[in-house]
Amino acid sequence: MSTNTTYLIRGAKPLGTEVTDILIHEGTIAALGAGAATHQLAAEATIIEAAGQIALPGMVDLHTHLREPGREDAETVETGTRAAALGGFTSVHAMANSNPVADTAGVVEQVWSLGKRSGWVDVRPVGAVTVGLAGERLSEIGAMADSRAAVRVFSDDGICVFDPLVMRRALEYVKAFDGVIAQHAQEPRLTEGAQMNEGEISAVLGLAGWPAVAEESIIARDVLLAEHVDSRLHICHVSTAGSVEIIRWAKSRGVKVTAEVTPHHLLLTDELVQSYDPVYKVNPPLRRQADVEALRAGLADGTIDIIGTDHAPHPSEAKECEWAAAAMGMTGLETALSVVQHTMIETGLISWADFARITSSAPAAIGRVADQGRELAVGEPANITLVDAEARWIVDPAAMATKGRNSPFKGLELPGKVTHVFFHGHPTVRDGKLDTPRITQES
């Protein structure tokens, strides 16, 4: 590991605009622009040639399943954060549905310290809203907020906080800790045994339907609840056109609601289920093309605030089976940037500056991650991702850092390769390969 902590990135285009040199020293951006190369520190700097590449603020994922503790066969904090770094992330939020569930300060601190020890990205644990994700009693939200993990995002993701009274109480309670409830919107009775989007294709395939209304009715209820108690609500993995409309309406009323969309819901549709290949089984399910269009439009106009990967690795046996028996979920950390570039930037819907907002500054703001999602400016923490936007590559799950081989993008050619990632000034990724983790002093 190099002891040199000074790097000069030459020829990169911050947010895809003007070519600018970036000087990094001791974890922060020391100089930008014409003066960077002639800065007195630049003489000793390691030079990173990045001509034509795009410099972005390190990406922040509000929705990652790292599986540890409990399902280390599917993923560990170490493997999941390696995947995150390779995907251009400098921070991920680890969802609470581990085993044991992250519903106490002990579990969230364990995950937090595993993240520290790994050193590839900031790991921000998400706390469960209810004990054991059972939807009945509030978990120790305050203890988790006050722990070293400083939890601000609370979610029973995987399961909907269905009881309206529990949801109301949770929304109210997190206000004391500047927290946010991230809701997995799924009406449980309407989705009993649900296998895929309910519509023309499920009718033919004979798979039990997961109707759009099961998502939309919960979102409608929860935005009204959030308005009533004046609290922050975040909607995980919005998947339907109707949900986008409800959120747009709620925002127009001033409700403090934010929303996320996954890369896979921006690209894939339920037609893929015709193969019965469980790699396309995910919750919420892949929807219709019209939903994909509405999600892209909602993301472009700001109705949807962020990209959340919902990275959900599974061991191969969980997918090498019949559809109904298969686990739900897809990996996403190492393909997120490419899929968003493909679906949003190459279609002209958003700019790289918008990309920085939806993948970095907005998720950091929702998660209250102070030193992430910052501008690329002198004095700011050097969390920087460099992207070769011209590169194209073919997705090969076997070549990924995540343990999960369940990428629905397998075999697809996608644009955009992450070349370098600086995590607080430390290169975790160089030339598209993992470099070294950033080791910090902590007990």
Partner 1 sequence: MKHLLSTLDLSRADAIRILDIAEEMAAVGTRQVKKLPALRGRTVVNLFFEDSTRTRISFEAAAKRLSADVINFSAKGSSVSKGESLKDTAQTLQAIGADAVVIRHGASGAPARLAATDWIDAPVVNAGDGTHEHPTQALLDAFTLRTHWSALHGHTSSGSDLAGMRVAIVGDILHSRVARSNLWLLRTLGAEVTMVAPPTLLPHGSNVWPCTISFDLDATLATGVDAVMMLRVQGERMHDSFFPNTREYSRLWGFDDARLAALDATDSGETIIMHPGPMNRGLEISSAAADSPRSTVLAQVANGVAVRMAVLYLLLSGDQPRPAPSDAIRPAGL
Burial class (CB in 10 A: 0-12, 13-18, 19+), 169: middle
Identified binder of partner 1 from the candidate list 276, 315, 365, 430, rule CB under 8 A: 276
Residues 206-235, mask of contacts with partner 1 (x by CB under 8 A): xxxx-x------------------------
Using the rule CB under 8 A, give the single segment among 66-74, 236-244, 259-267, 271-279 that binds partner 1: 271-279
Identified binder of partner 1 from the candidate list 3, 34, 254, 322, rule CB under 8 A: 322
Residue indicated by tokens 């002198």 = 378
List CB contacts of 178: < 8 A, sequence separation 6 or more.
152, 368
When asked if residue 204 is in the footprint of partner 1 (CB under 8 A), the reply is yes
To the question of whether residue 283 is assigned a binding role by annotation, the answer is yes
Question: Which residue, among 267, 245, 268, 247, has the nearest Cα to 259 in the 3D structure?
Answer: 247
Using the rule CB under 8 A, give the single segment among 7-15, 33-41, 256-264, 319-327 that binds partner 1: 319-327
To the question of whether residue 67 is assigned a binding role by annotation, the answer is yes
Q: Give the phi and the psi of residue 303 in degrees, each rounded to 5.
A: -60, -45
When asked if residue 43 is in the footprint of partner 1 (CB under 8 A), the reply is no
In DSSP terms, which residues pair with 182 in a beta bridge?
Answer: 234
Q: Roughly how many angstroms between the first and final C-alpha of the chain, as a whole number?
A: 21
Select 196 or 358, whichever has its Cβ closest to partner 1. 196
Q: Give the phi and the psi of residue 332 in degrees, each rounded to 5.
A: -160, -15
Tell me how many degrees the CA angle 429-393-54 measures, rounded to the nearest 5. 50
| φ/ψ bin of 368: left (φ > 0), alpha (ψ from -120 to 50), beta (otherwise) | left
List CB contacts of 47: < 8 A, sequence separation 6 or more.
7, 8, 10
Minimum distance from CB of 273 to partner 1 (Å)?
A: 9
When asked if residue 398 is in the footprint of partner 1 (CB under 8 A), the reply is no
Cis, bond preceding 381 (omega within 30 deg of 0) = no
Identified binder of partner 1 from the candidate list 27, 229, 323, 391, rule CB under 8 A: 323
- In the range 232-261, which residues lie near partner 1 by CB under 8 A? none
Question: Would residue 310 show up in a list of annotated catalytic residues for this protein?
Answer: yes
Using the rule CB under 8 A, give the single segment among 2-10, 53-61, 217-225, 270-278 that binds partner 1: 270-278
Out of 310, 354, 388, 435, the active site residue is: 310
Residue ranges at the known binding site for Zn(2+): 63, 65, 157, 184, 237, 310
Residue ranges at the known binding site for substrate: 65-67, 97, 283, 314
| Binding footprint of partner 1 on the chain (CB under 8 A) | 195, 198-209, 211, 275-277, 317, 320-325
